[in-house]
Structure 1
Amino acid sequence: MIRKMGVVWHLRLRMAEKGMFQTSALVPLLAERGVHLSREQVFRLVTQPPQRLSVDTLAALCDILNCQPNDLLEVKVVNAEIRKTSGEAAPAQPRARHTTVRRPDLT
């Protein structure tokens, strides 16, 4: 069985719970903890689930928001493929259709 995992990113929610509504408010707070990100990078960090996240950044966010990593990240299965076992019918697959293109007679 193949399972594709993804995360739900709760940074914006945790910020709102602390009364932080401007993404730019994180810039100086992160810098105080040795994490130097541009305003654009912080905006993307808040508004999109990060593909990569340094442990230093995660630790700084947890310190700023007084939370644990699992308060920011929720791991979920985003796509599951079911393996066929013997005796079970395979899931119906769409069949390819052959198409014939006919041109009008040009004579």
Structure 2
Amino acid sequence: MIEKMGYEWRLRQIMAEHEMFQTSDLGPLLAERGVSLSREQVYRLVTQPPQRMSMGTLDALCDIFGCTPSDLIKPMVGNAQVKKTAGGESAPLPLKERRTTIRRPGQP
């Protein structure tokens, strides 16, 4: 097995630790730091792990909560299937090669 990396987005937990339970409370604090997000964007930021985020937003969140990026993002490790090599090391499963046949128009 090979370890596959993922992450846990901890913004909701950090907000709760600071007794902030409404996503609408976060918008004005972000705006004070120059980050303009819609109500819906703030809601998604709190409730879903972001696929991408600007450094300005990350910096503003760290400033608001007095934390570091590693407090907001907790790495998670999972397992994926791999093939064992002769030396005992693990290697990802290779792609299977497939022969192709070129057929010209009119040929079966």
Place the TM-score, normalised by the shorter chain, in its bin: 0.7 to 0.9
SS at match of 2:84: coil
RMSD: 2.0
1:51 and 1:71 mapped to 2: Cα distance? 17
TM (norm. structure 2) is 0.73
**Greater strand fraction, Structure 1 or Structure 2:** 2
SS at match of 2:15: helix
Shift of 1:6: 1.2
2:7 counterpart letter in structure 1: V
> Which residue of structure 1 aligns with residue 12 of structure 2?
12
> Which residue of structure 1 aligns with residue 62 of structure 2?
62
> Which residue of structure 2 aligns with residue 91 of structure 1?
none
Q: Deviations over 1:45-97 (max 9, x none)?
A: 10011000111100000000111110000112234333322398xxxxxxxxx
1:28 and 1:6 mapped to 2: Cα distance? 30
Q: Deviations over 1:13-67 (max 9, x none)?
A: 0000001000010101000101000110011110011000111100000000111
> Which residue of structure 2 aligns with residue 100 of structure 1?
none
In terms of Rg, which structure is larger? 1
What fraction of aligned residue pairs are identical, expressed as a percent?
A: 66
1:78 and 1:38 mapped to 2: Cα distance? 34
> Which residue of structure 1 aligns with residue 74 of structure 2?
74
TM (norm. structure 1) is 0.74
> Which residue of structure 1 aligns with residue 50 of structure 2?
50
> Which residue of structure 1 aligns with residue 86 of structure 2?
86
Unmatched tracts of structure 2, length 5 or more:
89-108
2:16 and 2:87 mapped to 1: Cα distance? 52
Aligned length: 88
